Structure 1
Amino acid sequence: MKVPEPNFAHLVRLTDDTGLFEHARLAVARREHGYCTDDVARGLVVTSREADPSAELVRLAECYLTFLNHAQAKTGAFHNRLGHDRRWADPAGLGDWWGRALWGLGTAAARHPVPWIRDSALTAFRLGTSQRSAYPHAMAFAGLGAAEVLRADPGDVDAAALLSDAATAVGPPGADPDWPWPLPRLTYANAALAEVVIADAAARGDDTALGTGLHLLAWIRDVQSGPRGLRVIPAGGWARGEERAGRDQQPIEVAALADAFATAAAVTGDRAWEVDLDRTVAWFLGVNDAGAVMWDEHTGGGYDGLTAYGPNLNQGAESTLALLSTLQHARAKVPA
């Protein structure tokens, strides 16, 4: 199966001089829905992973970084929703968007090749680390940003404290071997919880905690495996004892698995995790329950979900970034 190179054309299409439009009708941006910090932060993660970005991709990173600086309050919290009228629709808070903002800022601070972008991102990241969220997913996303900073600077005290707190926020594994997940319900981007436990354990050199994180990742992988490839948790989630829906599978769930598999492979050196990473790429290329390709090769956009009737052909920011992120990991794999 030939894996395509990341195509940023649709990301460019969804971005104006303010930020990244959240939704699209097919490949056309829906301006009336405005922007959200969640997606802009994801955009900064993806653009910062490019080691040799074009001038256009640098412009996107600059735009996303500026948006996040504007979204951040003096407390370190973030607004999430900005209307096309450039007015915030919510107070600054510590939900998932705070965590993803720190993920984006931490990635830019650690990886972006432009020095002023790294410096500005690190300043905003440090302000954000003064806060902690009550939500495990938000803490996990923030912890992944902290892990990025620590890889670049292992002595960063603020990042180490945030990463440790993020792993603690995930909670201990469940006692039931049939449901070791630390939460009673699987929702969205589930693998990020296992990934932050793995990242924290690796940073501290804790083999026991690393084993726990890898076990959680293997379990969430197995739970999301089907006869035709990945069968990820659909929108709406799933808990034991419930009937599990087979469709409305979300690309963000596949991308979270790809992120976690890439981290597990890097930490352990075990190529088996790269085989799992191949399965996430394959899901976008049609190895899924519907046998449906989940991206538009003409626009570069990712489809918004896998429904009972095939792909949702709208190409919003979240799904497009999920596609790009997964393809970046595939490109970065060490040749066998």
Structure 2
Amino acid sequence: MKKGMKRLVLPSLNTKHLFRMTDSTGILQHAKFSVPNYKEGYTTDDNARALIVALRLFEKTGDKAYLDLVYRYMAFLYNSYTDNGYFRNFMNYSKVFIDEKGTEDCFARSLIALSYVYSSDVLDSSIKELSYVMLKRSLRNVLELKYPISMAYAIIALSMLHDIKEFSNEAKIYLEALSEKLLNLYKKHSDENWKWFSNKLTYANAILPYALFRAFAVTEKERYLKVAKESLDFLTTILFENGILRVIGNRGWYEKGKERSYFDEQPIDACDCVLAYTEAYKITEDKEYKEKALKAFRWFLGENVHKQPLYDEKTGGCRDGIEEDGINQNQGAESTICYLLARLYIEDLIKSEEKNKEVV
């Protein structure tokens, strides 16, 4: 730890808001302050992410309450699943889907959730069998993905399936095909001063280098590692100002050659930074990446432009973002799930570091 940087004290694990936001159907999309907002209904996007968090919590604690959540979110995914291997996304509170096909991000995030389920060592074979059936049909669609961030999500799913014999062959083929697509986009758009996969930085940016670090871990192809590092280092120069994380704002994003948008900052971006820097540190052992992972997590706790926490220790929820005039006080599903996922990753990082010190 660098001189002058105080030791990170993790808040206690509080999942009250996760349970509060979840009813018999799944996790609700939005909240008004800390109260679930039924008017906005549900999304498959959020239920897929919630499935990942609930499963990780069950693996960590063995608490059957989290297993109940795993089944509930899995049931939502199955309900959203279509015969051609895609997923509908938006469901109103009357339990009716209002779209025929969800976004590419929804599709790829659902693949990650299903991959977590199928690769888990703590789940019953029956729920894993359902994930197998859904994955078998859905994986055929991954090469149809057109958006870089969606491709990155799919690569993460495929990196999990690569070592599983039932999927290893197709997972390897698809993972390398999508990784090459990302590299081609990088080659097309990057130059000496702009090392990125498109001419615009938008949301969830860090997920792109994160995916290529995962691709390198699977294939050991140095070109994946090279672009993963270059793109993450480029992103770092933009996202950290005066020692704090300032993610790209969703009011205009950041187009090459133009002014970047600073507001509104979203928890999904801070979470993906935690994931990317943690993975980069694991692979390269460069301590600078570890420090950036910790700084990205501190964004949730108050080390941000407004010096106010987004995480609410009383409710267990996470506020929805940083706006120009303050903090958005609503505690929606995406924000809370992103906080919990980031916290789980940081806890694993800290424990891994402590274990390594004990070994030494």
2:203 is aligned to: 188
Alignment size in residue pairs = 336
Instruction: Quote the Cα distance in structure 2 between the aligned partners of 1:153 and 1:287.
Output: 44
Give the Å deviation of 1:147: 1.4
Going from structure 1 to structure 2, the CA distance change for 1:239 and 1:211 (only over 3 Å counts) comes to: same
Give the Cα–Cα distance (whole angstroms) in 1 for the partners of residues 284 and 122 of structure 2.
Answer: 27
Q: What is the DSSP-based 3-state SS (H/G/I as helix, E as strand, rest coil) of the residue aligned with 2:255?
A: coil
User: Residue 35 of structure 1 is aligned with which of 33, 42, 49?
Assistant: 42
Q: Cα–Cα, structure 1 residues 7 and 148, in superposed 2: closer, same or farther, change >3 Å?
A: farther
Identity of counterpart residues, as a percentage? 28
In the alignment, the residues of structure 1 paired with residue 281 and residue 196 of structure 2 have an alpha-carbon distance, to the nearest angstrom, of: 21
| Counterpart-to-counterpart distance in 2, 1:229 and 1:256 | 16
Does the aligned pair in 2 maintain the 1:5–1:331 contact within 8 Å? no
Q: More deviation in 234-243 or 191-200?
A: 234-243
The offset of 1:270, in angstroms, is: 3.4
Equivalent of 2:334 in 311, 318, 335: 318
**1:161 equivalent in alignment to 2:161:** no
> What one-letter code is carried by the residue in structure 2 that aligns with 1:165?
A
Amino acid in the other structure paired with 2:118? A
Q: 2:22 aligns with which of 2, 15, 20?
A: 15
> What letter is aligned with 1:78?
F
Structure number having the greater helix percentage: 2
Partner secondary structure for residue 196 of structure 1: helix
CA distance, structure 2, for counterparts of residue 217 and residue 208 of structure 1: 14
Amino acid at match of 1:317: A
Cα deviation for residue 94 of structure 1 reads 5.0
**What RMSD in Å do the two structures reach over aligned CA positions?**
1.8
Q: Decide whether the 8 Å contact of 1:27 with 1:315 is kept in 2.
A: yes
Q: What is aligned with 2:303?
A: 287
Give 1:193-212 correspondences, 5 Å limit: 193-212=208-227
SS in 2 for 1:30: strand
C-alpha contact (below 8 Å) 1:110/1:151 kept by paired residues = no
- Distance, in Å, in 2 between the alignment partners of 1:112 and 1:15 is 25
Kept in 2: contact 1:147–1:199 (CA 8 A): yes
**Counterparts of 1:141-290 in structure 2 under 5 Å?**
141-150=153-162, 156-170=168-182, 171-173=185-187, 174-236=189-251, 237-290=253-306
Question: Aligned in 2, Cα 1:309/1:175: closer, same or farther, shift over 3 Å?
Answer: closer
Residues 148, 197 of structure 2: 8 Å contact kept: no
Equivalent residues in 2 for 1:39-118, closer than 5 Å: 39-50=46-57, 51=59, 52-93=61-102, 95-111=104-120, 113-116=122-125, 117-118=127-128
Aligned partner of 1:297: which letter? E
Distance in 2, Cα, partners of 1:120 & 1:185: 38
Could you tell me whether the CA contact under 8 Å between 2:186 and 2:198 is conserved in 1? Answer: no
Instruction: Please give the TM-score of this superposition, normalised by the length of structure 2.
Output: 0.88
Do the aligned partners of 2:117 and 2:123 also contact (CA within 8 Å) in 1?
A: no
Amino acid in structure 2 at the alignment position of 1:149: L
Give, in whole Å, the separation in 2 of the partners of 1:153 and 1:302: 38
Deviation of 1:188 after TM superposition, in Å, equals 0.5
1:173-228 alpha-carbon deviations (Å, 9 max, x no partner): 43412101011101100111111122112211112321211211121122101114
SS of equivalent residue, structure 1 residue 33: strand
- Deviation, structure 1 residue 153: 5.5
Structure 1 CA distance for aligned equivalents of residues 329 and 140 of structure 2: 40
